[in-house]
Structure 1
Amino acid sequence: MDCVFCAIVAGDLPASQVYDDDRVLAFADLNPATTGHLLVVPKRHAADLAALDPDDGAHMFRVAQRLAAAVRASSLEPEGVNLFLADGEVAGQEVFHAHLHVLPRRTGDGFAVAADFASPPREELDRVAGLVREALADAP
């Protein structure tokens, strides 16, 4: 099976499960960026965010929010939590089955999303906002 998450959902590969319902499965990441790193995976295959059923996506985030609270309440005692979804190869997606990372964070844990943030003029921000507004009318 080409989709490793499909194989995990099907029970063909083992996973250290933390949550399971009719829509999603959540389990410990095999290559955790931080201690307690979890993945929330929709049971219906969707290669990326555009292919993800909106109800499945909403449910993924609800479950991730509960898991983040559980991680914070656990003896793992992180100082914070990131939710991270990579959509597309250039965004860092390596497994092409949509999934949401729940990343417990601690000072000095080594995980970083680095960027050179700029402060463009308002005109540029307005131009970009307009492009997205136009495309929004055609978005699913």
Structure 2
Amino acid sequence: MSLHGDYDDTNLFAKILRGEIPAVKVYEDADVLAFMDIFPQARGHVLIVPKNSRARNFIELPADRVASLMAVVHKLSKATAKALNPDGVTVTQFNGAPAGQTIFHLHFHIIPRYEGVRLAGHGHGNRADIAELEQIAKQIAAAIE
């Protein structure tokens, strides 16, 4: 999909937000949901999506929603680093298929990086163990300040 287009209410993240598909939640408030990526690029990969939004990408997000969303991205980046003690943390977001976006509901990735450990490819087929994701989510949630 290109950078511009119509929002598809059947996208995976819209279904998660409506409770039609389960997710391992890390954090939730009135505006944002954060959950574990079930196809993580690294141990502790978290996704953050705005609620009550039909923004397909960051460019479409209304300006008055940016600060609150970025505050949660910051908070969860810090919590992930504190909980999992990685050697680095990648915070990323893609806008349009040519940029690497595969699900067209605005979302951010927090990906812990570990020295000497290569990232799994974006959209790879190795599904994580749900019990392990639940344990990691609890660690991160407990580290939120």
**TM-score, normalising length: structure 2:** 0.71
Query: 1:34-73 counterparts in 2 under 5 A?
Result: 34-43=42-51, 44-73=53-82
Higher relative contact order (CA 8 A, sep 6+): 2
The equivalent of 1:12 in structure 2 is 20
Query: 1:84-123 counterparts in 2 under 5 A?
Result: 84-111=92-119
Number of aligned pairs? 111
Superposed CA RMSD in Å reads: 1.5
Q: Which one of the candidate residues 14, 22, 35 is aligned to 2:30?
A: 22
Name the SS for the 2:74 alignment partner: helix
5+ unaligned residues in a row in structure 2: which ranges? 1-8, 121-145
5+ unaligned residues in a row in structure 1: which ranges? 113-140
Please tell me whether the aligned partners of residues 39 and 99 of structure 1 are also in contact (alpha carbons under 8 angstroms).
yes
Q: Which entry has the higher C-alpha Rg, 1 or 2?
A: 1
Please tell me whether the aligned partners of residues 72 and 78 of structure 1 are also in contact (alpha carbons under 8 angstroms).
yes
Task: Give me the identity figure in percent.
Answer: 39
Q: What letter matches 1:107 in structure 2?
A: E
The equivalent of 1:131 in structure 2 is none
CA distance in 2, matches of 1:54, 1:108: 38
The equivalent of 2:134 in structure 1 is none
**TM-score, normalising length: structure 1:** 0.74
